[in-house]
Chain A
Amino acid sequence: MKTAFRDLAAGGASADASEGARVPVSFEGRALLLRAGANLAAELLVAGVMPFRHTPVSGAPRGPFCMMGACYDCLVRIGGVTQQACMIEVAGGMEIAMPPAGPADGGTDD
């Protein structure tokens, strides 16, 4: 997937020894290799994952916005719990899914 986000350590220009080895995780069933211990939202952006979710109100696509745990736009579901991807560190074996979304056709449920 095409991404506008570039990992400076990639390509060996500034080999980042303190950043972890790559571990397998999945996003919506898609297999990914992300750096263990790295910020999950940042790793997903570099891997080209977008959107992270669709809103519960209209089903609009969303991705990370504030990266500091304030906006809740980067919500993902891991182990059945909806969490902020920007506040989580990557661990091997994570099965990441989009949280439940609302009507994608712009309709309402009332």
Chain B
Amino acid sequence: MTEADLIVLGAGPAGMAAACQAAGAGLSVLVLDEQPRAGGQIYRDVARAAALRGRILGSDYTGGQALVAALDHPLIAHLPGAVAWRVDPDGTVAFSRAGVAGMARGRRLLVATGALERPMPVPGWTLPGVMTAGAAQILLKASGVVAGDAVLAGSGPLLYLVAAQMVRAGTPPRALVETQGTTDLLAAARHLPGALAGWRMLAKGGALLRELAGAGVPRFRGASAIAVEGADHATAITFDCGGTRHRIPCSTVLLHHGVVPNTQVTRSLALAHDWDAAQRAFRPVRDGWGRTSLSTVFVAGDGAGIGGAGVAALSGRLAALAIAHDLGRICAGDRDLAARPLRVRRALDLAARPFLDRAFPPFRGALAPDDATIICRCEEVTAGDIRRHAALGTLGPNQAKAFSRAGMGPCQGRFCAASVAEILAALQGTSPGRIGTHRVRAPLKPVTLAEIAALADDLPGPGPGAS
């Protein structure tokens, strides 16, 4: 069993910044990350790819190199390719690396597992050729692979960024099908942040839109009734816009309508969560340092509420300061002094969120899919299945899971839990916050029996040969 003052789950901006700050205060840090190289999804593989594709991906991406470089610290052990599949309240983490399981225990735990794409169930979304917009960006970042013959559909600034990156890569998308309308933009206008933060955001957005216009990428706004056509593979996207039905032939459809906190670990620990109505997602309850309802467990980054990479890194540093104080490495005065400028910057970075949340709401059609649309990709459960179970008296997601199998497949609800909660909430005329969401249990990711058996020597209690 490896011991550390702090175990960080995830090597994205929050995890990397926290590890550095904690190591700087003299704490031993173990960083467990699923990916082969540090960076998280936002800075995926940045140490290698920045030099190769920095021009295409932009400075918001290449800026992540400093955080990755800072992981090289004598007090930080970074284990890439480590998939955590069980996290216990006492700080014990079971994980697998290349088929070999291991265990570690931290005096404090920081969950920095980032975000997941908000599931966007539309007819045909399970067809080969349909991916998330985030997936297309990951292909570009980590592999230098660009999706051709593509249409992007949904809402949110990521759609514009991915489209612009595809333009720079010499493979512009065929079209941008946007579900938000001008009324959303008008309603969002009163949330425009003041002065500098607002200007920066609008300037960035404007530059992306000019790139798309310059490349002649058609934009459809206020689209609804989105569907993907195809028998064995996507062949076209269809949608209503401006009173007509449109059909654009394409072999790739990239869906996105926002990201939501990845709460698999925090929910498996049965920590308190609440419903963020503005971001339409569950998030762990935490204080200004990121401390959760279990005092030894902290959360930072998008997994604590969507704020983006800048906010994530600042929140990671704040959590590390609180942890360093918990463990007696810094006094309260030094903690608070170091925290002050971080909090000021975090507030500035967060100023744009209310505008973005309101201007780019989730696609209504994917929150309330047609009965025939699959919502649980793993078990192929439709929205109609969930509604039928609800009509028989199913009140919550756990009951719906038992009856329908939605959430029981290998992804363990990562791409259906939000949909189930939305559907049940709509039927009961309430908010998903009152419906709740799936319980999550270990193993958090599939693990082989051989991997568990090989852990026997690490486990407390009677070991092999004791029987």
Binding site for B on A (CB under 8 A): 4-9, 14, 16, 18-19, 38-39, 42-43, 45-46, 50-52, 55, 57-58, 60-73, 75, 81, 87, 89
When the two chains form the complex, which single residue of B128, B134, B145 contacts A6, counting CB atoms closer than 8 Å?
B145
Contact B138 A6 (CB under 8 A): no
B96 to chain A, nearest CB (A): 11
Residue on B nearest A15 in the bound complex, by CB: B52
Contact B169 A8 (CB under 8 A): yes
Q: A4-B252, A73-B377 are in contact. Are A61 and B36 (CB under 8 A)?
A: no
11 additional A-B pairs beyond A6-B145, A16-B144, A39-B142, beta carbons within 8 Å, are: A4-B148, A5-B148, A6-B146, A16-B52, A46-B145, A50-B233, A51-B232, A55-B380, A69-B35, A69-B445, A89-B36
Scan B123-152; emit 1 where CB is below 8 A from any A CB, else 0: 000111111101100110011111111100
Residue on B nearest A2 in the bound complex, by CB: B251
Contact A4 B129 (CB under 8 A): yes
Contact B380 A81 (CB under 8 A): no
Q: CA A16 – CA B144 in complex, angstroms?
A: 9
Q: A4-B147, A6-B145, A8-B144 are in contact. Are A70 and B116 (CB under 8 A)?
A: yes
Q: CA A55 – CA B138 in complex, angstroms?
A: 24
Contact B380 A42 (CB under 8 A): no
Contact B380 A57 (CB under 8 A): yes
Q: CA A55 – CA B379 in complex, angstroms?
A: 9
When the two chains form the complex, which single residue of B83, B147, B262 contacts A5, counting CB atoms closer than 8 Å?
B147
B121 to chain A, nearest CB (A): 12
Residue on A nearest B48 in the bound complex, by CB: A18
Contact A19 B144 (CB under 8 A): yes
List B contacts of A57 (CB < 8 A): 379-380
A26 to chain B, nearest CB (A): 20
A109 to chain B, nearest CB (A): 13
B221 proximal to A (CB < 8 A) = no
Q: How many A-B residue pairs have CB under 8 A?
A: 117
* 21 residue pairs A–B, Cβ–Cβ below 8 Å: A5-B139, A6-B146, A7-B144, A7-B145, A8-B145, A8-B169, A16-B144, A42-B142, A42-B143, A43-B143, A52-B128, A57-B379, A60-B380, A61-B233, A62-B128, A66-B134, A68-B41, A70-B414, A71-B411, A72-B411, A87-B83
List A contacts of B411 (CB < 8 A): 70-72
B59 proximal to A (CB < 8 A) = no
List B contacts of A6 (CB < 8 A): 145-146, 148, 171
The interface residues of chain B, by DSSP majority, are classed as loop
Q: CA A70 – CA B114 in complex, angstroms?
A: 12
List B contacts of A68 (CB < 8 A): 41, 134-135, 138
List B contacts of A61 (CB < 8 A): 127-128, 232-233
Contact B148 A60 (CB under 8 A): no
When the two chains form the complex, which single residue of B56, B135, B171 contacts A65, counting CB atoms closer than 8 Å?
B135
Contact A63 B129 (CB under 8 A): yes
A31 to chain B, nearest CB (A): 21
Contact A4 B142 (CB under 8 A): no
List A contacts of B409 (CB < 8 A): 72
B378 to chain A, nearest CB (A): 6
Q: CA A62 – CA B131 in complex, angstroms?
A: 11
B326 proximal to A (CB < 8 A) = no
- Which 7 residue pairs across A and B have the least CB separation, nearest first? A42-B143, A63-B128, A67-B135, A72-B410, A67-B138, A4-B149, A8-B144
Q: CA A52 – CA B129 in complex, angstroms?
A: 11
Contact B169 A81 (CB under 8 A): no
List B contacts of A73 (CB < 8 A): 126, 377
Contact A71 B415 (CB under 8 A): yes
List A contacts of B262 (CB < 8 A): 70
B117 proximal to A (CB < 8 A) = yes
Contact A4 B144 (CB under 8 A): no
Residue on B nearest A19 in the bound complex, by CB: B144
When the two chains form the complex, which single residue of A4, A18, A51, A71 contacts B150, counting CB atoms closer than 8 Å?
A4
Contact A72 B251 (CB under 8 A): no
Q: A45-B139, A50-B233 are in contact. Are A5 and B410 (CB under 8 A)?
A: no
B389 to chain A, nearest CB (A): 17
B34 proximal to A (CB < 8 A) = yes
Scan B32-58; emit 1 where CB is below 8 A from any A CB, else 0: 001110000100000010001100100
